[in-house]
Amino acid sequence: MIILTGMLTMQQAPAPSAPAAVAQTAPAPETAPRRPRRICENRAPTGRRLEQRICYTPEQYAAMVAAKRKEAEEITASGNIQNDATANGG
């Protein structure tokens, strides 16, 4: 019985040191990098009926919008806009 009591005492001694080690590893999830926010849209690519979900980072989306805006301004500034009345033959 004395041996059993001694063994139980030995088992309880390491228990307080274990939570201290766990407490030191707790801040790890806070330092994990967060995923960047994405801008997604559904599109049906040319020649397809089914839409696909396409996602961009905010920087990629801003660059795409700027490129499309610049292209549209160049088209309208060049004066090569088709007049619908002449296209129909009237």
> Alpha carbon of 23 to those of 16, 18, 20, 86: distances in Å?
12, 9, 5, 78
The model's pLDDT over 1-29, given as tens digits with 9 standing for 90+, comes to: 667 666 666 665 454 554 554 555 555 55
Number of structural domains in the chain = 1
29: in domain: no
Enter the pTM of the model: 0.46
The domain of 60 spans 35-78
86: in domain: no
* Whether 41 contacts 60, CB under 8 Å: no
Q: What is the DSSP string of 10-37?
A: HHHSSTTHHHHHHHHHTTHHHHSPPPPP
The model's pLDDT over 36-81, given as tens digits with 9 standing for 90+, comes to: 789 999 999 888 889 999 999 999 999 999 999 999 999 888 876 6
Tell me the Cα Rg of the chain. Answer: 33
